[in-house]
Amino acid sequence: MKNMKALPAIVLLTAALQAEKKIEPFRPAAIETYASKQTNQGLTVAAVAYDDADEAKAAFGKLHPYEHGVLPVLVLFKNEGAKTLNLEHARFQYLGPGSRKLDETPAEDISRLKGPGRPRYNPTPLPTTIPGMRRNKNPLQNPVIIERAFAAKMLPPGETAYGFLYYQTGHSRSARLYITGITEAQTSQELFYIEVPLGAQ
């Protein structure tokens, strides 16, 4: 009988633990409030590099990807034109000093990384991992990485979209986000490239 009476408490505890694991939604500020943005043919794009721990906390909670060799870059779109835009084949490259280009790492590949390692491009030293962290646990195996990733394929007139891109690099304040491959959905005509500075919010 004692076990039967304890059952509701166990159920409530399980439900509470599941609720704690739930990923809270992330909503950035309005695109107009960001200092780093560019407008091209009715499309406004803003971008921010999340190399700061306090900034990262709002988006990733206890996980700070940059401490583990991954630089998250928040990208925001607002289509103020009259045509739907196709983002499916857009290419997002990190341009460091000397205009050296680095492709993003797909969100689904992040969980397979093993710490900072040696990224292909590293203009500044990567931060070290937290002292005392277990080596057998990969903090990047966190569903929040995929949950926050940029995934928009189409952007109708008047709509906005946002999400994170991930790069295996240290961050330079002179870096830029270089975007190509955005087309008009109906005509497949490609828009001009867009460059957004990553040195300020």
pLDDT at 4: 47
DSSP of 81-98: SSS-EE-TT-EEEEE-GG
pLDDT at 58: 92
Alpha helix ranges (H) inside 93-177? 107-110, 144-148
Bridge partners, residue 46, by sequence: 37, 76
Query: Residues 186-194: what's their mean pLDDT?
Result: 96
pLDDT tens figures, 7-54? 454 444 444 444 445 778 899 999 999 999 999 999 999 999 999 999
Q: Which of 35, 36, 34, 25 is nearest to 59 (CA)?
A: 25
pLDDT at 10: 44
Q: Is 55 helix (H, G, I), strand (E, B) or coil?
A: helix
Asked if the model's pLDDT at residue 153 lies above 80, the reply is yes
Tell me how crowded residue 148 is: count the other CB atoms within 10 A of its CB: 23
Asked if the model's pLDDT at residue 2 lies above 80, the reply is no
Instruction: Please give the torsion angle defined by the CA atoms of residues 79, 29, 63 and 102, in that order, rounded to the nearest 10 degrees.
Output: 40
Q: Given CA atoms 11, 141, 77, 187 in this order, what sign does their dihedral have?
A: negative
Q: Is 171 helix (H, G, I), strand (E, B) or coil?
A: coil
Q: Is 35 helix (H, G, I), strand (E, B) or coil?
A: coil
pLDDT at 12: 44
pLDDT at 50: 97
Query: Residues 138-165: what's their mean pLDDT?
Result: 96
Q: How confident is the model at residue 200 (pLDDT cuts 50, 70, 90)?
A: low
pLDDT tens figures, 82-100? 999 999 999 999 999 888 8
Q: How far is CA 194 from CA 53, 55, 158, 180, in A?
A: 28, 24, 19, 7
The predicted model scores a pTM of 0.79
pLDDT tens figures, 113-149? 865 543 443 444 455 444 544 455 789 999 999 999 9
Q: Given CA atoms 127, 50, 184, 86 in this order, what sign does their dihedral have?
A: positive
108-133: burial string, b at 16+ Cβ within 10 Å, e else: eebeebebbeebebbbeebeeeeeee
Asked if the model's pLDDT at residue 5 lies above 70, the reply is no
